[in-house]
Amino acid sequence: MSTEAYTPTPRTKLRLRPDRGHYDRELVHAIIDEALIAHVGAVVNGEPRVLPTAIVRIGEDVYIHGSQANGVLGALKDGAPATITVTLIDSIVAGRSGFGFSLDYRSVMIFSHGEAVTDPEEKRGLVQAFVNDLMPGHTVRPPKPKELAATLFLRFPIEEVSAKVRDVGVLDVEEDYGLDLWAGKIPVSLAFGAPEDCPRLAEGIATPDYAQNYARPPMKRST
C-alpha cells in the first residue's frame, strides 16, 4: 500500500546538502513524469555504462525498453544493478563567483533491479504507455508480433529512491553580495514548436489538436 514518503536507506540518504533531499512520493512521481528522458547506469562487462533513454512510470514501477541486442539492457535483464537518474533543469543561476554559479534543478535517483516483461499483452500495453507518455492522445497501429519479440521491456520497482531539489537561486558567500557584479537567474523551460506534418501523410489527415497544442508537463496522473 502506498504511503506518503519512501523510506530513506543508507544508500539514498543525502550526505551533501541533506536539506535538498526529499523522499516524498508525489514529488518523486512528478519529476519522473515531467522528464522526457532518464539516464540508466549499469556495469557491463566490468565497465560503467550510462544509457540515455525514454522512461515511463506506471504506479510504483518505471519501465525502459529497447532492442533485445542492446548491451546495457541485456546486462540489466541478466541482473546487473541499475542506477536510474531523472533530471529537470529549472534555472541557470549566475552567482558572483565561479563557485556561486549553479543550476536550480529537480532530480531523482533510483537504485533498482530490472525484470524483463515477457507477457505479450503487457508488452502491448507498454508500447501504448510509452506513446501516451510522450504524446498523450496520439494513436498508433497495433504492434506486430515480430516488433514485440525484438523489443526488451524492463520493469524497475521504485523502492530505493531519493529526490534532490535546488530551488534557491543565487547563493553566494556573504562577502560577495556587495560586489559590483550582476547576479541572478535565467528560468529554463522546454519549448515546443509548431507541428510539422510528415511529408508522406495520407490524404485528408488534419494535424490533431494534441499535436497543435502540445505542452509539457503532461496532465497530472492519478497513480
Task: Give the binding site for ligand FAD (CB under 6 A).
Answer: 11-12, 14-16, 87, 89, 103, 105, 107-109, 162-164
Nearest-CB residue for ligand FAD = 164
Q: How far is the CB of 19 from ligand FAD (least distance, A)?
A: 11
Q: How far is the CB of 142 from ligand FAD (least distance, A)?
A: 37
Q: Which is nearer to ligand FAD, 22 or 96 (CB)?
A: 22
CA distance 61 to 112: 10
Task: Answer for the pair 156, 6: CB distance below 8 angstroms, yes or no.
Answer: no
- Bridging pattern class, strands 38-44 and 21-22: unpaired
CA distance 184 to 190: 20
Q: How far is the CB of 166 from ligand FAD (least distance, A)?
A: 7
Task: Answer for the pair 115, 75: CB distance below 8 angstroms, yes or no.
Answer: no
Q: Which is nearer to ligand FAD, 23 or 214 (CB)?
A: 23
Q: How far is the CB of 90 from ligand FAD (least distance, A)?
A: 9
Q: Which is nearer to ligand FAD, 53 or 87 (CB)?
A: 87
CA distance 25 to 68: 32
Q: Which is nearer to ligand FAD, 52 or 193 (CB)?
A: 52
Q: How far is the CB of 56 from ligand FAD (least distance, A)?
A: 19
CA 56, 61, 62: angle at the middle one, nearest 5? 30
Helices vs. strands in the chain: H and E counts, helices first: 5, 11
Q: Which is nearer to ligand FAD, 63 or 105 (CB)?
A: 105
Q: Which is nearer to ligand FAD, 9 or 207 (CB)?
A: 9
Dihedral of the alpha carbons of 170, 176, 179, 103, in degrees to the nearest 10:
-20
What values do phi and psi take at 209, rounded to 5? -60, -40
Q: Which is nearer to ligand FAD, 82 or 152 (CB)?
A: 82
Q: How far is the CB of 76 from ligand FAD (least distance, A)?
A: 18
Q: How far is the CB of 203 from ligand FAD (least distance, A)?
A: 46
Task: Answer for the pair 154, 73: CB distance below 8 angstroms, yes or no.
Answer: yes
Tell which residue, 77, 74, 96, 87, has the closest CA to residue 35: 87
CA distance 5 to 26: 8
